[in-house]
């Protein structure tokens, strides 16, 4: 039963309960997708600003609007393609492992180098830079959203259409919030780790085992989340430690 039409099927109390449960699952997954995209899209927002920085103010707005529009369309296509690919055996496992690495890097990589992003000298050049850079940097978003969507293409489209404009027009505010409240990054990494571990447990070769051993299922998810948060925090702490230079 597709989520947008579930309200048309309310009948008996049992079906009504199932409808409410499905509706809740749909909106929780949608909120999860929006949150993940906001957490992961900080670099993409910076790229958009860098690509359009040399253009006149009025042309800047057009470059951001058209470039982001192209990036959104490309990302929707890429994510739906990944959602389809995740039906292939073992790809859920591979995607989950990649997402574990991405969750760790979210905490471990405190700064990103954007020095190679060239500012566009024309409207077309800026649009191309935004689309190409977003595609190159968007692997984490695509895998995360594909995993969180539970194979629902509609969730992918709605989540991206809501979250990407927020990133574009509210990117500065969101980046400031992350800098002011570092725990947001930890929440984001935990959600990513949860999505990654859920992808692994949903792998068709493992799903029966985890369904018949629910304690191991939840323990596995908890270990992945704690492992990512601990490793990322230690790496982050080590990166912030002042380097001691030898005295002469």
Distance CA 13, CA 49 (A): 52
What pLDDT, on the 0 to 100 scale, is given for residue 223? 97
Instruction: Give every residue of the chain whose pLDDT is below 70, as ranges.
Output: 1-21, 41-47, 49-50, 53-54, 109-121, 136-137, 164-176, 240-248
pTM, full prediction: 0.69
Task: Count other Cβ atoms within 10 Å, centred on residue 2.
Answer: 9
What pLDDT, on the 0 to 100 scale, is given for residue 173? 61
Task: Please write the tens of the pLDDT for every residue from 56-91.
Answer: 777 777 787 788 788 888 888 888 888 888 888 888
Kindly state the percentage of the chain with pLDDT values over 70: 70
What pLDDT, on the 0 to 100 scale, is given for residue 71? 80
What pLDDT, on the 0 to 100 scale, is given for residue 209? 93
**Domain spans of the chain?**
20-240
Alpha carbon of residue 161 to chain centroid: 13
Task: Count other Cβ atoms within 10 Å, centred on residue 61.
Answer: 12
Distance CA 216, CA 134 (A): 38
Q: Is the dihedral of CA 55, 47, 161, 20 positive or negative?
A: negative
């Amino acid at each position: 039963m597709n989520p947008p039409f579930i309200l048309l099927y309310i009948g008996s109390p049992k079906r009504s309960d199932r409808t409410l449960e499905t509706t809740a699952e749909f909106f929780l997954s949608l909120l999860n997708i929006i949150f993940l995209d906001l957490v992961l899209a900080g670099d993409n927002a910076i790229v958009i600003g860098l690509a359009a920085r040399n253009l006149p103010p009025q042309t800047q707005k057009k470059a951001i609007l058209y470039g982001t529009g192209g990036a959104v369309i490309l990302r929707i296509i890429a994510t739906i393609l990944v959602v389809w690919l995740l039906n292939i055996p073992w790809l859920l496992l591979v995607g989950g492992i990649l997402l574990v690495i991405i969750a760790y890097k979210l905490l471990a990589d405190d700064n990103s180098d954007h020095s190679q992003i060239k500012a566009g000298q024309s409207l077309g050049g800026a649009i191309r830079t935004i689309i190409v850079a977003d595609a190159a940097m968007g692997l984490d978003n695509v895998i995360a959203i594909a995993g969180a969507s539970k194979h629902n293409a509609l969730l992918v489209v709605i989540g991206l259409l809501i979250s990407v404009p927020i990133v574009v027009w509210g990117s500065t505010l969101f980046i400031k919030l992350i800098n002011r409240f570092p725990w947001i990054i930890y929440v984001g990494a935990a959600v990513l780790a949860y999505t990654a571990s859920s992808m692994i447990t949903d792998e068709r070769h493992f799903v029966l085992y985890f369904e018949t051993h629910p304690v191991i299922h939840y323990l596995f998810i908890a270990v992945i989340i704690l492992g990512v948060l601990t490793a990322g925090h230690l790496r982050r702490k080590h990166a912030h430690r002042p380097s001691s230079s030898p005295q002469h």
